[in-house]
Structure 1
Amino acid sequence: MSLKKATVIIILILLIDQISKIYIKTNFMLGEEVPVFNWFRILFVENEGMAWGAKIPGQYGKLALTLFRIVAIAGIGYWLWDSVRKHMPRVLIISIAFIFSGALGNIIDSVFYGIIFNDSYRQVATLFPPDGGYGTLFHGKVVDMLSFPLWEGYLPEWLPFWGGQWFTFFDPVFNVADTAISIGVGILLVFNKQAFPKKKMEDTIAEKNQAEVNRVERED
């Protein structure tokens, strides 16, 4: 698979991700929700950029997280380029493209959203507000909106520890970028043998070694 085709996948996912986030940010107040089905709703929340809404404590925690994510995506980008260069299996390149696009989509939020949007608390945010954004560069919050509460209800009383408590199965709220990352990782897990064919890698190493031996023999 060519790098051009992988780039097309990345751009499409990024467009869907950013268009959906900008729409939510400019049409919903923080915490506002719209039920679609019993098991699916649009719910606008924001987080510092870590899974499950977690954040690094301290004055520079958010900055450290954003910088780490930038370094990580640089590594993923190199992995994608190197995989294309080595003609690795299509399934591997597709999965890396999904992971890269998802990580980049959330980094855009973390880097820029603090300066291009104002706050969404008790108001609908404005894109490029005249009075400035709610934060500074590298201190934006990631926009999430996809909620799938597949089951909600009180747990049976006989259950230890949690009996009688209200419980929601699959409580996290996420976005298109998160979905892309999950799909990419899922592809790697399900198609692990196709993505990392051991025999092909061994043959490639053997061919390189043989080529080196031939070169040395010619020089002698």
Structure 2
Amino acid sequence: MIKNVMNTGLSWLWLTLLCLVVDQVTKHQVVGSMELYESIQVLSFFSITYVHNLGAAFSFLADQGGWQRWFFTSIAAIASIVFIIWLAKTPKDKKLLSVAFALLLSGALGNLIDRVLFGYVIDFLDFYIGNNHWPAFNVADSMIFIGAALMIFDSFKNSDKESSASKK
């Protein structure tokens, strides 16, 4: 069984665990050392700003009556299961795709933990230009973005290989 696991994308679960720990530790540090809505300027375009996100990306549905907590919790739980299945079905030699799934899984789990424990996601990375701020996000959100980008890159990389093979 262990030998079979090591021949799949599940061999990258260490990366999922590492990113999940970084996500949770950074959130814990922010909550433990800052007041809600407190902001610490780091660079002229970046601050650590402690906020709660009751919604999804860009605070989507944050102003609803509370049902969104369980809706987004369910989505994150289902997505996590799907990413584990995809990791299990991905051959070990598909490293980029395995890394993408591992990162997506860590992000989904990081935000799932917040929703289950608190009812919201802890965000704190705040980028801006002048008074124009992007919505604050966290390490888990970053892993989701990077994982999705790698997945897209992998799909283009593989479609190029398939095109080259069909021309021969």
**Following superposition of structure 1 onto structure 2, how do residues 111-150 of structure 1 map, counting pairs within 5 Å?**
111-112=116-117, 114=118, 140-149=119-128
Equivalent of residue 103 in structure 1, options 108, 120, 142: 108
In structure 1, what residue type is equivalent to 2:104? Answer: I
In structure 1, what residue type is equivalent to 2:114? Answer: D
What is the match of residue 88 of structure 2?
81
What is the match of residue 161 of structure 1?
none
Q: Which of the two has greater helix per residue?
A: 2
Q: In 2, distance between residues paired with 1:71 and 1:194?
A: 28
Equivalent of residue 154 in structure 2, options 158, 169, 191: 191
Structure 1 position 68 matched with structure 2 position 75 = yes
The alignment yields a C-alpha RMSD, in angstroms, of 2.5
Structure 1 position 51 matched with structure 2 position 57 = yes
User: Given the superposition, is the C-alpha separation of residues 178 and 195 from structure 1 closer, same or farther in structure 2, using an over 3 Å criterion?
Assistant: farther
CA radius of gyration, larger in: 1
Q: In 1, distance between residues paired with 2:158 and 2:104?
A: 14
Q: Secondary structure at the match of 1:66?
A: helix
In structure 2, what residue type is equivalent to 1:101? Answer: S
Q: Secondary structure at the match of 2:140?
A: helix
Instruction: Note the alpha carbon deviations across 1:145-167, whole angstroms, 9 max, x for none.
Output: 10111x21xxxxxxxxxxxxxx5
User: Given the superposition, is the C-alpha separation of residues 91 and 3 from structure 1 closer, same or farther in structure 2, using an over 3 Å criterion?
Assistant: closer
TM-score using structure 1 length: 0.64
Deviation at 1:4, TM superposition (A): 5.4
Deviation at 1:191, TM superposition (A): 3.3
Deviation at 1:88, TM superposition (A): 5.4
Deviation at 1:189, TM superposition (A): 2.3
Which 5+ residue runs of structure 2 have no aligned equivalent?
1-6
Structure 1 position 37 matched with structure 2 position 16 = no
Q: In 1, distance between residues paired with 2:74 and 2:88?
A: 21
In structure 1, what residue type is equivalent to 2:47? Answer: R
Deviation at 1:48, TM superposition (A): 1.5
Instruction: Note the alpha carbon deviations across 1:127-181, whole angstroms, 9 max, x for none.
Output: xxxxxxxxxxxxx2100010111x21xxxxxxxxxxxxxx51x521100000001
Q: In 1, distance between residues paired with 2:159 and 2:86?
A: 13
What is the match of residue 208 of structure 1?
none
Which 5+ residue runs of structure 1 have no aligned equivalent?
115-139, 153-166, 203-220
In structure 1, what residue type is equivalent to 2:116? Answer: V
- Taking only the aligned residue pairs, the percentage that are identical comes to 29
Q: In 2, distance between residues paired with 1:178 and 1:96?
A: 14
Deviation at 1:195, TM superposition (A): 5.1
Structure 1 position 28 matched with structure 2 position 7 = no
TM-score using structure 2 length: 0.82
Instruction: Check conservation: 1:91, 1:194, Cα contact below 8 A.
Output: no
